Chain A
Amino acid sequence: MKIKKGTYRLEKRGLNFSLADDLDFKDRNNCFYFRGGNGFGKTSFLEKIIIPALKTEKVQYIYIGQDIRTQLYTLRALLAVQGIKVSDNDEVALLRLWINHSRSATVFILDEFDKYFPDYGFIFDWSDAFIRAYIMVTHLGYCQPDAVAGKYRTCNVKFDLVDFDGHIKNIRVKKE
């Protein structure tokens, strides 16, 4: 699945993206790092451009959002209605169970997950048998867990503010 270079407008969110390069999530062992200032639309780009494109192309994905509180409740409920016992599990065990039950996914999206776990290599250990591409939003440094550095091609995608006209932010999105 590819997001082609071009202009993407999210008027309701006051964002106008100029994507300078194609983003291809089809190749195996790719790890995309989305970086940029606060309010530059990294999460909006995920939720309003990438995820709808994944849905359109019927590409299954796993998404761990920035606000993990609501998601953990939802996850617990989701697994419970599927008849999977979750009451005795801690949150990480819950996450592992969910990932293990999501083996049809080929894209894994993590929004600032590294603030909870700076060493998030275990996510790759649990999922790299079926995930082709990882997309991570981060504000932390360029250091990667060993599990990631050796195995995945890293692609840094930078979100930069070009200008703001009082209503719309023009954001350039470019591979580094």
Chain B
Amino acid sequence: MAIYNLDAILNRYCDDFLILEFNHLFISSSIREEVWLLQRRADPALVEKIMRAAEEFGIYDVNADKDFDTYSGGQKAILGCLLTLAVIRSQKIHGLKLLLNNVLDSLSDDNRLKLFSKFEEMRLTHDIRLYTNKKDRIQEIF
């Protein structure tokens, strides 16, 4: 049994999936920095879009420079997903397979449903496919 085995997850799935892992959601410490790294430039418009989307999930105290560590675990999981979706849309990425590892179980039921509807929208427009990892087995959500 393994609680959390990043090497095993990467070895098994990194060739086929973009992996969002609960314990490794971000490289940097704020939305502004993360967008800068993912877009390779400052992108205030994208930052603004992510913050507005976060408010839909009840993250009212969202701020471009707020340290990720000051958000709750579930809020970080939501922000990680919203960042990913925003970058996929911005960079017009199609056909991506996205694996959520220990992410969905950190969300309250209402936020999980809201997030599914965001992903569903991206499935229709960008052919994104969503997977989760349960008991060492990959399951396609849609």
Chain A contacts to B: CB under 8 angstroms: 13-14, 36-44, 66-69, 72, 90-92, 95, 111-112, 114-118, 139-140, 161, 164, 166-167, 169
Instruction: Give, as a whole number of angstroms, the nearest-CB distance from A44 to chain B.
Output: 8
Q: A67-B73, A68-B23, A139-B74 are in contact. Are A116 and B111 (CB under 8 A)?
A: no
Chain B interface: which size bin? 20 to 34
Total A-B residue pairs with C-beta atoms closer than 8 Å?
A: 86
Most A CB contacts (10 A, CB to CB) among B3, B24, B61, B78 go to: B3
Residues of A within 8 A of B102 (CB): 115-116
Partner-A contacts on B (CB < 8 A) = 1-6, 22-24, 57-61, 70-75, 77-78, 102, 105-112, 134-135
CB <8 Å contact, B59 and A39:
yes
What A residues does B134 contact at CB under 8 A? 118
Given contacts A38-B72, A43-B72, A112-B73, A139 and B3 within 8 Å (CB-CB): no
In the complex the two chains form, what is the Cα distance from A112 to B2 in whole Å? Answer: 16
Contacts A38-B75, A112-B73, A139-B108 hold; do A68 and B58 have CB atoms under 8 A apart? no
* B4 and A139 form a contact (CB under 8 A): no
Contacts of A169 in B (CB 8 A): 60
**Is B4 touching A39 in the complex (CB atoms < 8 A)?**
no
Q: Among A72, A140, A161, point to the contact of B3 (Cβ < 8 A).
A: A72
Alpha-carbon separation in the docked complex, A114 to B77 (Å) = 16
Q: Report the Cα distance A130→B91, complex, angstroms.
A: 55
Q: Quick check: A38 and B4 within 8 Å, CB to CB?
A: no
State whether B108 touches A66 (Cβ < 8 A): no
**A contact residues around B108 at 8 Å (CB):** 36-38, 139
